Structure formats: C-alpha cells, structure tokens
Amino acid sequence: MSMHLDEKLEPIYQEVLARNPGEMEFHQAVREVLESLGPVLVKHPEYAHHKIIERICEPERQIIFRVPWQDDKGQVHINRGFRVEFNSALGPYKGGLRFHPSVYLGIIKFLGFEQIFKNSLTGMPIGGGKGGSDFDPKGKSDDEIMRFCQSFMTELYRHIGEHTDVPAGDIGVGGREIGYMFGQYKRITNRWEAGVLTGKGLNWGGSLVRTEATGYGSVFFVDEMLKARKDSFEGKTCLVSGSGNVAIYTIEKIHELGGKCIACSDSNGVIYDEKGLDLNLIQRLKEVERRRIKDYTQYRKHAVYKEAGNIWEVPCQVAMPSATQNEINGKDAKTLVKNGCIAIGEGANMPTTPEGVKVFLDAQIAYGPGKAANAGGVATSALEMQQNAQRDSWDFDYTEQRLRKIMKGIHELCYDTAIEYGCPGNYVVGANIAGFIKVADAMVAFGVV
C-alpha cells in the first residue's frame, strides 16, 4: 500500500526492520520519512557518504528501567520506564513523557524519531528524544500518581539536565505529573534547575501559553494552510478527536477563529453536539473533575454520546485528530474526503495510517502532518527554556504572538521546500525534507560521532 522507496534507501529500511524487530510504529515512522528523502540524496551525495540516514535511524542512547511503586493499599506494582535520547545534533534532547498502558519501546522510538525532525522545523536549538512508561494513570489517586512519578524520577534524574535532556508532557502527563517529577528532581539533586523540565506550573518556572500551545499551534498551522488556499476557518464545521490537553485548546482556538467544533471523543466513545461543543463544560469535566467525556450529555441534553463510535463518520470540513497514533485508517480517510473534508491538521503524533495519508494526498486536500502541525507544543517548551535561562517570564499575548510567528514560519518552510522538491502543496514532503536537512548538515559538520 505504501509508496516505493528509493533504491539507496530500501536496504537502509530493511536494516532498520532487522535491527528493531516487532517495533511496528517505529518502522512506520521511519518509512514515512525515508519515502520523502530519495531526491535529497540526489542533491546531497555527501549524506550517503557520511551514512547520515543510517546514523539518524539509530538512537544515540536508549534507557529502560524498572519503576516500582506502592498503591494506596500498600500493594507493590512494577512498571517499565523508558527514555530514548534519539538525536542531539541541534541541541539537548527534547520531547515529552507518555504514561499509557500501550507504551513499549516501539512507541517511544517512533515518537522520538518524529521529534528530531519536528524540533528541527521549529528553528529552535533542540534535539529529539521521548520517554514514558506503561503505567496507566486512569483511576489512580493523586497519592498513587505522586508515588509513581517520584519512583520514575528516582531513576530518570541521572540521565536528564538543562543542557542534556529536557522532558515534558504527552499523553497521561500534564501539569500535575510534571510537578511531582520536578519536586523529586529538585530533592535528589539539591538544584533548583528550572530548565530540566518544561510544562511547569506558572508560579515555579512555567511559561504562559505552554498548556495551550500544541492545540493553538495546530490550529494556526491549519489556518496558514487554508490561507494559502485563499480560505479560512470562518464558518467551518470541525471535528477534534480526543478530549485531553491538545484537543481542548484546539477546540478553543477553532472557536476563536470562527469555526464550529461539533464532536470530540475519548477512548470509550464520541460526543456529538450539533450546536457546537461547550468548551467550558469539557474543561470542567476533563481538567478539573477528571471525568469521562460521556458525562457531557448530563449537562447538554440535546448532545448525543455514542459508545465506541467513530468520530470520522461525522461530516465536517476540517478534521483535527488530537488523540493518538493510527486513529485514522484508509477507510476513515475516504469517508472524510467523501463527506467534504478539505483540511486535516494533526495535533496528535502519526494519527493517520500510511493508507490514510495516501488518500489525503491523492485527494489534494490540505494535509498538515503532525511533525509540522503540532510543533507548537515543543516550540513553546523551547520558549519556556529561554525564559528560564533569562530568569524572566513573558506575558500571554507576547508568548502567543511568538507561537503564531513560529507556526507561520514552519508552514512557510514546509510549503517552500515542497515546491523546491517538485511537490507543491505536499506538506509531508516539505516537513520531512526541511526537518531532515538541518539535522543532517549539523551531523556532517560534527564528523563521525
């Protein structure tokens, strides 16, 4: 189903498969990038000579560790912790931590690999990394979350630091978890080192707009794609999957720009509200009370909840997958296009399967891949690091303007690179090539390291 690989790249991909057995998501992420790189090797023979692609596919360091913790009844549990420090050519490793039962090495590596190119696209001095655990935060008390985070950091602390590796949040890791981890890091190291983690609380080194950044940034990216087609969000019907951090601020910014979100979801089901989603209600349910999205219908009686429903069957003009990997398959993509969808902005990482991506590209709708569209989160983390280094804090409007400008810059870079390589309008090619070249040039400069 997926595209043909260049003859120089096929053996590299085969080697990745052989060296990393069973890591499907990692294979998928590598293949997606390699599919774009054929023409780059023609223009830049030095990359093949220096074996840049082979090197980029091998993480610089992979750490796996035991995380023992006790629940409220005193029972002992053992989870597995990961940190994959993938590439530090452009700066300290940077990327979030994911706590979800599906986590294993293949997921962390796919996320870390994507992160290299995403971080490069932001233009900020950050390398790529990712981490997490197969711990399931669902249904755990605050005390249990705290004990888990402390145990996790008791090993992780020796691998991270403001100039080494700077983790942040991802699925299952938000402000609460970052707080517990920062507290434990500070205690173990006896250092108040703001720059070691991002996504911190506002009164202890955090940045305004970081919480909103991934969602807002994804909407800004789609807004730029629409502008390039002389269109806008005004009056557009939108879908946003998930109901977590990224989904909530995606919905908020779409509404600010004049669009209307009519559905969101969680891993159990889909909420459909034809009058437009009530964001205050969603925030209260999800951020304050930590409840399920199902409860939305208790307060908005006309809304409909569909257990195990498929959100992509709801007709829309703009779809913003903001939950998890591979949530849009080929069939879903066809349904979206058939129902009149003209733009996709990926808030989540790799939410579309290769079959789905092909459907969007063939239909020539505006398709913004995650490594470009959701880069606003990590870019604002880098702004948080800048503020920490200056011992300063910027106001909301200024920080949001910086984010907006960064997203505009990423769009322009992807747009222009796609044209340069003969694929106008193809943001996959644009993002992969532009992200890759900056890292590759730095690696060439450093020699064989």
Tokens 């690999």 label which residue?
Answer: 113
| Residue of this chain nearest to ligand NDP (CB atom) | 244
Question: What is the total residue count of the chain?
Answer: 449
Considering only 81, 128, 132, 169, the residue that binds ligand NDP (CB under 6 A) is: 169
The candidate with the shortest Cα–Cα distance to 120, out of 414, 434, 435, 386, is 435
Least distance to ligand NDP, CB of residue 99, Å: 8
167 binds ligand NDP (CB under 6 A): no
Least distance to ligand NDP, CB of residue 74, Å: 27
Measured CA to CA, the distance from residue 376 to residue 122 in angstroms comes to: 8
Q: Which of residues 346-365 bind ligand NDP (CB under 6 A)?
A: 347-349
Binding piece for ligand NDP, criterion CB under 6 A, among 56-64, 225-233, 239-247, 385-393: 239-247
131 binds ligand NDP (CB under 6 A): no
Contacts with ligand NDP: how many residues (CB under 6 A)? Answer: 23
Considering only 170, 223, 252, 332, the residue that binds ligand NDP (CB under 6 A) is: 170
The candidate with the shortest Cα–Cα distance to 248, out of 177, 140, 320, 308, is 320
Considering only 81, 92, 128, 172, the residue that binds ligand NDP (CB under 6 A) is: 172
- DSSP per-residue letters across 235-264: T-EEEE---SHHHHHHHHHHHHTT-EEEEE
Based on the residue annotation, tell me whether 130 is a catalytic residue of this protein: yes
Distances (CA, A) of 31 to 2, 36, 37, 275: 9, 9, 10, 41
Cβ atoms of 410 and 221 within 8 Å: the answer is: yes
Taking the least distance from each CB to ligand NDP, the nearer of 167 and 430 is: 167
Least distance to ligand NDP, CB of residue 29, Å: 12
The candidate with the shortest Cα–Cα distance to 256, out of 405, 408, 404, 412, is 404
Token readout for 236 is 């557009």
Considering only 151, 243, 335, 426, the residue that binds ligand NDP (CB under 6 A) is: 243
Side-chain half-sphere of 7: how many Cα atoms within 13 Å? 0
198 binds ligand NDP (CB under 6 A): no
244 binds ligand NDP (CB under 6 A): yes
What track of x and - describes contact with ligand NDP for positions 31 through 70 (by CB under 6 A)?
----------------------------------------
Strand partners, 130: 84
Measured CA to CA, the distance from residue 87 to residue 70 in angstroms comes to: 34
What track of x and - describes contact with ligand NDP for positions 83 through 122 (by CB under 6 A)?
-----------------x----------------------
Q: Which of residues 205-224 bind ligand NDP (CB under 6 A)?
A: 214
Binding piece for ligand NDP, criterion CB under 6 A, among 31-39, 183-191, 266-274, 308-316: 266-274
Residue 306 buriedness (CB in 10 A; 0-12 / 13-18 / 19+):
middle
246 binds ligand NDP (CB under 6 A): yes
Considering only 242, 356, 368, 430, the residue that binds ligand NDP (CB under 6 A) is: 242
Taking the least distance from each CB to ligand NDP, the nearer of 323 and 413 is: 323
**Residues near 439 by Cβ (< 8 Å), separated by ≥ 6?**
56, 87, 89, 90, 116, 117, 120
Taking the least distance from each CB to ligand NDP, the nearer of 52 and 246 is: 246
Catalytic entry in 94, 109, 118, 130: 130
Q: Is 156 helix (H, G, I), strand (E, B) or coil?
A: helix
Question: How far, rounded to the nearest angstrom, does the alpha carbon of residue 178 sit from its chain's CA centroid?
Answer: 17
Catalytic residues, by residue number, are 130
The contact set with ligand NDP (CB under 6 A) reads 100, 169-172, 214, 242-247, 266-268, 322-324, 347-349, 374, 377
